Structure 1
Amino acid sequence: MCGPVSDEDFLRKEVDAVERQAAKRIDPGTGALTISIAVLAILVSLILPWVGEHSGLQVVLGESELFLPTLFSYLALAVGVAGSGITLAVRRWVLTWVCSLGLFAGSIIGVLSIWTQQTTTSNKTIGPGPGIGLVIAVIAVVVLLVKWVKIAASRPPQL
């Protein structure tokens, strides 16, 4: 037969529950400002040229027939903008790793997008080159990647 629960046992269980809940949350600190500025840079880059005469918004809407810049634009908007916004709002540790992994893929595809704009199969020695908007978006995605990995890796180990 179990006796009544003492105040100490009740308090210990309550403290443990709060500790487990706090371990699932992050505090981005001043990194939240850098993340917000990088998200804004991605959004501003959409009005600048990305591929030839196509702006970033036109690439997102599928007016460009190039696969890598289009895929990069989807990742930059989905993970870079929406994912970062949701993660900052919810502040869950697991979402920081989701953003980190998505931004890692996005940064690789972004760099490949720039590279494909610098190479060509025609007789020209240099391709048309990436637009300034694509370069800004790739830099912003890399900045987001660094910030999210730093925040995700800062979680203390669970005992």
Structure 2
Amino acid sequence: MTDGLSELDRELRDVARRVERRIDPGATAMVVSIAVLVLIGAFLLPWIGDVAGWRILVGGEWFGILPRLFTITALLFGVVGSALALGLRYWALAWVCAAGCGISTINGVWAVWSRQISVPQGGVGPSIGLVLALLAIVVLAATWARIALRR
């Protein structure tokens, strides 16, 4: 009799441990999905002058380290990390996305700032794609922080 109870107790502890590691984003998953789609669309739009974000990402154009760093962190944390966190629903991944999107937000602000400040007269500044990507990353950072802090 005690063997059955101890096995049931162990099984219940295992289930509780698995549940504690998971998140349920609920309706907030739709906000994350839309922000990821906006971010992907922003990579197709011009970021600096007429140059699209994906060209900066793959190194086709060089406008300094900050725009390139923002493209890399936005892709890694905003697109790939968010997709993994929504698919796997692990609490640790939600925290990684919250922190990574926060870092990417700082990189994005620096990228916009660097294009506005360090551009010589008549040079090209930030375009709509860069600003839209920054807004999408800000939404993702806030949303992932909200999901991660819910527990």
Which TM class, normalised by the smaller chain length? Answer: over 0.9
Contact 2:101-2:138 within 8 A present in 1 as well: yes
Matches for 1:15-94 after TM superposition, within 5 Å: 15-65=12-62, 66-94=64-92
Instruction: Give the SS at the match of 2:141.
Output: helix
TM-score, reference length from structure 2: 0.93
Tell me, yes or no, if structure 1 residue 14 matches structure 2 residue 11.
yes
Seq. identity, %: 40
RMSD (CA atoms): 1.5
Moved over 4 A (4+): none
Counterpart of 1:21, as a letter, is R
Tell me, yes or no, if structure 1 residue 5 matches structure 2 residue 7.
no
The number of residue pairs the alignment matches comes to 150
Counterpart of 1:102, as a letter, is G
Instruction: Give the SS at the match of 1:78.
Output: helix
Whole-Å separation in 2 of the counterparts to 1:27 and 1:94: 13
Tell me, yes or no, if structure 1 residue 128 matches structure 2 residue 124.
yes
Instruction: Give the SS at the match of 1:46.
Output: helix
Whole-Å separation in 2 of the counterparts to 1:132 and 1:121: 17
* Bigger share in helix: 2
1:6, CA displacement in angstroms? 4.1
Unaligned runs of 5+ in 1: none
1:14, CA displacement in angstroms? 1.7
**Correspondence for 2:104:** 106
Counterpart of 1:88, as a letter, is L
Whole-Å separation in 1 of the counterparts to 2:119 and 2:136: 29
Whole-Å separation in 2 of the counterparts to 1:114 and 1:152: 28
Q: Deviation per CA, 1:104-154, whole angstroms, max 9, x where unpaired?
A: 1100000111111111363x3x86321100000000001000011111111
**Correspondence for 2:134:** 138
